[in-house]
Chains A and B, each alone.
Chain A
Amino acid sequence: MSQIGSFTLLLALALSAYSFLAGSLALFQKNRATDRLGETARRAGIATFAAVLLAAVVLVVAAFTNDFSIAYIYHHTNRDLPGPYKFAALWSGQEGSLLFWSLLLASYGLVLRLRHKTDTRLFAYASAIIAGVQVFFLLLLNFAAPPFGVMQGSLPADGTGLNPLLQYPEMVIHPPMLYLGYVGFTVPFAFALGALIMKYPGEKWIHITRRWTMVTWGFLTCGIFLGAHWAYSVLGWGGYWAWDPVENASLLPWLTGTAFLHSVMMQEKRGMLKVWNVWLIFTTFLLSILGTFLTRSGVVNSVHAFAQSSIGNWFLWFMAIVLAACLYFYWKNRSHLASEHKLESLVSRESSFLFNNLLFLVACFAVLWGTLFPILSEWVEGHKITVGPPFFNRVMIPIALLLILLTALGPLLAWRKTSLESIRRNFFWPAVGALAVAVFLMLMPARWGTPFGMKPWQEISSFYALMAIALSALVAFTVISEFVRGGRVIRRHTGRNLFSSMVQLGHRNTRRYGGYIVHFGVIVIVIGLSGAAFNQNKEMEMGFGDRMNIGPYSLVCRSYTQDDNPNYASEWAIIDVSKNGKPLTTMYPERRFYKASEQTSTIVANHSTLQEDLYLVYEGQNQDTGRPVIKVHLNPLVMWIWIGVWIIIVGTILALVPNAPAPVRVAAPVPARESEPEPIGAGN
């Protein structure tokens, strides 16, 4: 089995190297013979997919057939591991996850190569660049981290099992989503670099890559939040984001990718920021590689220690080569990116995108700076320091609040110029609404629970939470007013009802209104995040009948017990919960001991509502009394985060749907009026 796997990986390397070299040669020496060579390169790229897929299938089959002669299978599975986790073993360790990365890249490459007729030459460039990236990963798989390495000595009877933290349903989908995001940025990167090398005329390459970028961004967003949800449900520390370097590594390309999704509109609509956009997507790709380097090199301390190894230097060299190639082609063809920048007014959509990009880039810098500062400090001062949540929260929250404010303002601004009168008219009621929300939250009694009865003058965290919710309300009101205003215009023309008019409005410009729905999802998430300012927790040893109170909840330990199955032994408590004196539910916090890996894992019991999560952790047993120690967290508004993610997914899908044809046409020249007309781009 291992020989088949190793051979297919070697074959995949040869095919991708051919695809890269022959593809490059065909592009730089253009004639009929090299056209045929280019076609063979494309087909070699497609065959690479088949070879990598076969290697991945071999590894999965080896996991299901308990082939412990393969070291990777021995270290990441065992006989009693449930089927889905045996499948997930493919990406549960270093070598397997690199193979999975390579498979996803080959899959993206396959789709791209099959769709080459959209623009044969541009796609040929992109295909050659993707093949180049593929060569790097296959070199790693063949020489630095081979997944089909064979066990030395006698064949073990059973494997050491999968890391228990990874034995959770979401871990079956979190890594694929995240990797689809990371790997996916290779495609817009390849198109951008290809377009630069061939001096591709116009902005069509941006149009072609827009969907790729959006799909990739959607996957990365899902991947990040699935990871957060997994951490919340499995790690049992009561939170979902710890500003761990590996978490930060996923945020970096997300931030620059989000900036890119906004700034490409400047290039599409106004032909501006060509250099900026090209470098933004180069940076996004490099940051996704940097993230992998940080995760695997061990240069920064992380709770994701299982991913560390010695292959970090490979990534460092790869980044250096990619950066050198980007710099070279940019310098060589920089005149192609020349554009005439004109701005008629500071109060315009253009300037809002400039500020948007600045804030995203500053946020990205702050995360990167905080993540790498311990290394810098060690280099300068001779000792490492820790840069953790207190630093990131203090630096990132003000930047995030500015971004939310901009999210509210930006859509109200028209391209080129917006009159202050128009802003005042469109902004007044949303601002009044947001203010009313803030006052309402402060005046209502605290006994109603979070977020009511806020006292922003007492603590900075409370102030930030109130600001976040009020600004989120501002965004929500502006998004709603945009839909209503646009819907009314369509209703006037078509006579339909307002709701149906708004649906038609969304269908006419899916990108814009899909984007607004994404914004709406983001602010729902922000509301959820702001709840963290009011988290509470308590810990107590609970024997039979013992009671613990937190907020409006009362917890009584009915019983505690143990169980055993071939995969793990478990202990859990049975806790009866009542709220304000009324029985509510029974919860079962659990702790498992996985036999093969000899590691423990927490299974959190969580009662989640829109207002708060009652989150119970079985901390362990008091060795003297044998009674369980239960930690309870009361985390307000967490459910909003997961709802927000679903809204973002809906918005992203809507933005990917093709537009319905727009019937609006300018019929005849209209003489200029004395007063300034309404800016159409501002939603009227």
Chain B
Amino acid sequence: MLKSVFLKRALQVVLLGAVIFTFLAADQDARFQSIGHQLMCSCGCNQVLLECNHVGCPLSDGMRNELASYIQRGDSDNLVMQAFVQKYGPTVLLAPTTTGFNRLAWIMPFAVLGFGLAGIYFVVRAWRKRAAPLPAGSVPLAQGEELERYSEKVRKETEV
């Protein structure tokens, strides 16, 4: 009886270990893919590290092995990136960091969008003031040539 409980527990531990190992491996693979797509191959080919495919590249295989060993060691994403920057220089990172002057790279596109939206707001406000609607019934119905002129304008504006 005791033996059977022990076996059961041992089996559970092995299964749990296998599950954890599988998840960790899957997690490590996902991190490898994720970080590997944020780094550039430093051989001068200007390709993403995990997409560098030119024959005889002197660096990409070594860099991928380094990445795999850092991840296996349990280094955080930030630590891995820093290690690569220290070894290969700041151009190894495929996107600007969010510190110092590099922050400007991220801010500017959205700042321009914000300024543009504000600009549209003010433009629309100014244009709407110029186009105050007339009260209904205050304008006599158009006839003859005038009607034809307005009809032409309507056709032009409504594309019918």
User: Which A residues form the contact surface with B (CB < 8 A)?
Assistant: 235-239, 242, 244, 268-270, 301-303, 340-346, 351, 354-355, 358-359, 361-362, 365-366, 369-370, 373, 377, 380-381, 383-391, 394-395, 399, 414-416, 509, 511-512, 591, 600, 602, 617, 619-620, 631, 662, 664-666, 669, 671-672, 680-681
Is B109 in contact with A362, judged by CB distance below 8 angstroms? yes
Chain A CB within 8 A of B83 CB: no
A386 neighbours in B (Cβ, 8 Å): 40, 90-95
- Knowing A358-B117, A390-B38, the reply to whether A664 touches B160 (Cβ < 8 A) is yes
- Knowing A239-B51, A303-B45, A669-B143, the reply to whether A415 touches B157 (Cβ < 8 A) is yes
Is A361 in contact with B116, judged by CB distance below 8 angstroms? yes
Is B47 in contact with A344, judged by CB distance below 8 angstroms? no
Task: Give B98 Cβ to nearest chain A Cβ, in Å.
Answer: 11
A361 neighbours in B (Cβ, 8 Å): 116
Looking at B2-10, B11-19, B66-74, B123-131, the stretch in contact with chain A turns out to be: B123-131
Interface flags for B117-143 (1: CB within 8 Å of A; 0: not) read 101100110111011010011000111
Is A662 in contact with B160, judged by CB distance below 8 angstroms? yes
Is A303 in contact with B160, judged by CB distance below 8 angstroms? no
Is B154 in contact with A369, judged by CB distance below 8 angstroms? no
Residue from B53, B112, B113 within 8 A of A236 (CB atoms): B53
Cα–Cα, bound, A239→B109 (Å)? 25
Chain B binding site: helix, strand, loop or mixed by DSSP? helix
Residue from A238, A343, A362, A602 within 8 A of B51 (CB atoms): A238
Is A619 in contact with B130, judged by CB distance below 8 angstroms? no
Is B40 in contact with A388, judged by CB distance below 8 angstroms? yes
A416 neighbours in B (Cβ, 8 Å): 157
User: Which B residues form the contact surface with A (CB < 8 A)?
Assistant: 37-38, 40, 45-48, 51-55, 89-96, 100-102, 105-106, 108-110, 112-113, 116-117, 119-120, 123-124, 126-128, 130-131, 133, 136-137, 141-143, 147, 151, 154-160
Is A602 in contact with B130, judged by CB distance below 8 angstroms? no
Is B116 in contact with A362, judged by CB distance below 8 angstroms? yes
Is B51 in contact with A237, judged by CB distance below 8 angstroms? yes
Sample of 27 A–B contacts (CB below 8 Å): A302-B46, A303-B47, A341-B126, A341-B130, A342-B130, A343-B130, A344-B128, A344-B131, A344-B133, A345-B128, A361-B116, A365-B109, A386-B91, A387-B94, A388-B48, A388-B95, A391-B95, A391-B96, A395-B106, A395-B109, A415-B157, A509-B159, A591-B55, A631-B53, A666-B147, A669-B142, A669-B143
Q: Taking CB as reference atom, which chain B residue is nearest A670?
A: B141
B159 neighbours in A (Cβ, 8 Å): 509, 511-512, 681
A395 neighbours in B (Cβ, 8 Å): 106, 109-110
A236 neighbours in B (Cβ, 8 Å): 53
Is B94 in contact with A390, judged by CB distance below 8 angstroms? yes
A365 neighbours in B (Cβ, 8 Å): 108-109, 112
Cα–Cα, bound, A415→B155 (Å)? 11
Task: Give A481 Cβ to nearest chain B Cβ, in Å.
Answer: 17
Cα–Cα, bound, A619→B52 (Å)? 10
Is A381 in contact with B130, judged by CB distance below 8 angstroms? no
For the complex of A and B, list the 8 residue pairs with the smallest distance between their C-beta atoms, beginning with the closest. A388-B94, A343-B127, A342-B131, A366-B109, A390-B95, A237-B51, A391-B95, A680-B158
Q: Taking CB as reference atom, which chain B residue is nearest A358?
A: B116
Task: Give B130 Cβ to nearest chain A Cβ, in Å.
Answer: 5
Cα–Cα, bound, A477→B117 (Å)? 28
Task: Give B123 Cβ to nearest chain A Cβ, in Å.
Answer: 7
Q: Taking CB as reference atom, which chain B residue is nearest A340?
A: B130
- Knowing A362-B112, A386-B40, A389-B37, the reply to whether A369 touches B131 (Cβ < 8 A) is no
Q: Taking CB as reference atom, which chain A residue is nearest B30?
A: A459
